[in-house]
A and B are shown apart, each in its own frame.
Chain A
Amino acid sequence: MDRFPFRPGFVRNISPAVLNLQRVYEQNRQRITKKDVGSVPDVAAPQTKGTPRLLLMGQRRSGKSSISSVVFHKLPPSETLYLESTARIQKDSLNSFMDVQIWDFPGQIDVFENPNITFDIDAIFGEIGALIWVIDAQDDYLESVAQLNNTILHIQRSYPHINVEVFIHKVDGLSDDYKLDIQRDITIRIQDELSDEGIENAPVNFHLTSIYNHSIFEAFSKVIQKLIPRLGQLEAMLTNLCRTCRFEKAYLFDVNTKIYIATDSTPEDMASYEICSDFVDVVIDFTEVYGSWPRTQSWRARLEGEPWSQPVEDQVACELAEAGMVLSDAQRPIMLREVDRFLALVAIMKEGSYEKMPQINLNVDVVVKGLTEFFDITKPKEVKAAAVVEGRKGQGS
């Protein structure tokens, strides 16, 4: 995954203290789980042991490969015009704070109604984190909806916990009214069909998406967040930060994909997500252009010589990347702070708070440390998962 530019400078440090903390944390967790025994089981918690998997399914040309390329490989949306139709299952992985598999299916195959091949259904759905069903909103969608219903009926029997995420896709160019009409229509068609079959409250969610704007990233954020263990704890940390630093809104971003994996508890706001996401983009670009190539020895020698006489590492205030941008409108600053080589904290600050930056930085330091510890602890032991996947390969077509 070397194609992502954010990597080079983002150095990760794990202190011995963290290891200790991990042990303490484990003990606490076990105590809590014991206490929780009598209460309702957490249905939303991921059921998988290994790497969670996202399946991209839907009819031909609905946009599955485009979505996967734009979100996970940074393909410019306009270049998706040149993508070829997918012939066999395309398996991809996101190696980030959490490892996720993405399987892009060919639209022309229906895994349940295929006369030629019998799919190992368990191999496909066994490890699944979510099924993403892509519907082309600019096309006639009745057939796709029927196929989706059929799929849901099949998996409901054996895998009732699978989240079904319906992406009503290519909504760019559609009026807001029309978008909502379509969403309502599709929702009703699915719910009616399911309740006819006696299934109520199936975990089916709807998203209006397009690769030409932020909506596809926002939708993926929602999908991925459901796979994160103890998301609530993360959200609480961000909510706290917003309160102590008087931030308007804070996000924790996966910098490679610009998916946000948590935000504070204030109401969702697409505009805030967009500007923070674009700010991550700006920082990534500068990182690539100025921070991704090695400087010469003489350059370094000069910086460390008289009158500085210090290694450059000691000349900087913060060894993690940090950025700030002041908007002219009301002097509202936006700040970014690297958490580890995958994650960055991005926040919109309140007017005029730039003067308090030193204080804010102290608070941010504390939260960043907390986040780092959180991810060190929750990081799954990624040993067997890969082997499992390997063993089941080759059933695509």
Chain B
Amino acid sequence: MSDLDGNSSAPAGDAFGQTQTLKKVKKQKVLLMGKSGSGKSSMRSIIFSNFLARDTRRRGATIDIDLSHVKFLGNLTLNLWDCGGQEAFMENYLSQQRAHVFSNVGVLIYVFDIESRGDVERDLATYVNIISALVQYSREAKVFVLVHKMDLIQPAMREAVFDQRVALVRRKTAEAVSIVRKQKPDASAHPQSPPFPSTQIPDVDLDMQLFATSIWDQSLYKAWASIIHDLVPNLAVIETQLASLGVAIDADEILLFERTSFLVVSKWSSREGERNPYGDRFERMSNILKSWKHTCSKFTGTPRNAEQFSDFEYKMGPNFAMFATKFTTNTYILVCMPPGEARFNSAKLNVAAARPWFRFLDGPPVPMSSSSQMLAGGGYGSEAAGGSES
């Protein structure tokens, strides 16, 4: 193993971090809704506060709305509205607080507890009311439906149960949307959805995605990575830069993680890397590294949200090599390389040298114009940096 780059543990990016407040930080209002006990607060605390799944079992119900501001990367703040799901609260959101709750929403996450026996109809009715209110006040909002607690379903039944629920939710959503679209915006009542007349196809332009999730496996990371994916500012820039870094250092895959949640912010694969048969590897990596963080936190006795590891290297003989390391202030980077000691060492140096390229992840956007020269000019291991950028 090579020596660590002496600078890597220094708080990189601070100089750039100071220059914030130049441009506005993007804020996104995220509503987290669903029946009481469906698991909203649990997933929030796992993803953003590094709770263990088993620590969520003792949580109390959320009273009214639990508002939190999650700083995600340097220039995105999520305003998370964790809305207590007890009926009295729900009614209140839909009536008195309707405009307050449903205006300016960027994303609605609705959580169905797949195990809620008997209550399915009621849960769906509430869901329909919420979609109606959302369409009324925030037409542009994206909707994510999480069919949650899938671990409680027998493994062999999971797919069928999920598909069935997806069909049901899609149908109800379409009904709700079509009704609201026909009404005046000030419609007061909670529209009860009548059976949908089959002759009339509504134009559902609601942007909706559904996921099967459980706090007990990696599925939660897949859903949440999708949720944040579209919210991240400058995504195209990140992707382009990752690609040129990947090509320059001869990598097979690069993943960029947000440092607290370990959600995958962006990824790049070489043509060989794309042949990887493990399609679930991104959420799997989030899950692995996050649970590794827990292990470290338990071992060192440091707080769960503290930084836990700075560097990881793994070389599997002539098969492959990889490293994961602190990258910018807000991110970790994971690089999967072909085998080879020299290639590996220059890749590490070049990744360190590429940090300034990605400083904008830590603060408001800075001009990118000069950055395309960084790698070639880095001057480390000429063999590795010789790869052509395109």
B54 at the interface (CB under 8 A from A): yes
With beta carbons under 8 angstroms apart, the residue of B292, B311, B316 that contacts A321 is: B316
Binding stretch for chain A, among B108-116, B197-205, B334-342: B334-342
- Kindly state the interface size class of chain B when it binds its partner: 35 or more
- Let me know if A82 and B154 touch, CB within 8 A: yes
Q: How far is the CA of A317 from the CA of B315 in the complex (A)?
A: 9
- Let me know if B151 and A326 touch, CB within 8 A: no
CB under 8 Å from chain B, chain A span 274-295 = 274-275, 278-279, 281-283, 285-291, 293, 295
Chain A nearest CB from B67 CB (Å) reads 31
B16 at the interface (CB under 8 A from A): no
- Asked if A329 meets B300 with Cβ closer than 8 Å, knowing A78-B216, A285-B284, A312-B338, the reply is yes
A365 at the interface (CB under 8 A from B): no
- Let me know if A324 and B307 touch, CB within 8 A: no
Cβ contacts under 8 Å, A332 to chain B: 300
Closest to A354 in B: B4
With beta carbons under 8 angstroms apart, the residue of B277, B284, B311, B317 that contacts A11 is: B317
Interface class of chain A by DSSP = helix
With beta carbons under 8 angstroms apart, the residue of B275, B292, B310, B316 that contacts A291 is: B316
Interface string of B300-331 (1 = CB under 8 A from A): 10100011111111111111111000000000
With beta carbons under 8 angstroms apart, the residue of A296, A315, A328 that contacts B306 is: A328
Cβ contacts under 8 Å, A272 to chain B: 299
Cβ contacts under 8 Å, B206 to chain A: none
- Kindly state the interface size class of chain A when it binds its partner: 35 or more
Q: How far is the CA of A315 from the CA of B276 in the complex (A)?
A: 23
Q: How far is the CA of A289 from the CA of B334 in the complex (A)?
A: 13
Q: How far is the CA of A332 from the CA of B310 in the complex (A)?
A: 10
With beta carbons under 8 angstroms apart, the residue of A283, A286, A320 that contacts B317 is: A320
CB under 8 Å from chain B, chain A span 293-344 = 293, 295-296, 299, 303, 307-308, 312-313, 315-332
Interface string of B337-355 (1 = CB under 8 A from A): 0111111000000000000
Chain A nearest CB from B214 CB (Å) reads 9
Interface centre among A289, A293, A319 (most CB of B within 10 A): A289
Cβ contacts under 8 Å, B253 to chain A: 290
Q: How far is the CA of A357 from the CA of B317 in the complex (A)?
A: 17
- Let me know if A354 and B291 touch, CB within 8 A: no
- Let me know if A321 and B340 touch, CB within 8 A: no
26 pairs, CB–CB < 8 Å, chain A vs chain B: A9-B316, A9-B319, A76-B217, A82-B154, A278-B295, A282-B312, A285-B284, A286-B314, A290-B316, A295-B272, A296-B275, A299-B272, A303-B338, A307-B386, A312-B338, A313-B318, A316-B317, A316-B341, A317-B341, A321-B315, A322-B1, A322-B315, A327-B309, A328-B307, A332-B300, A354-B3
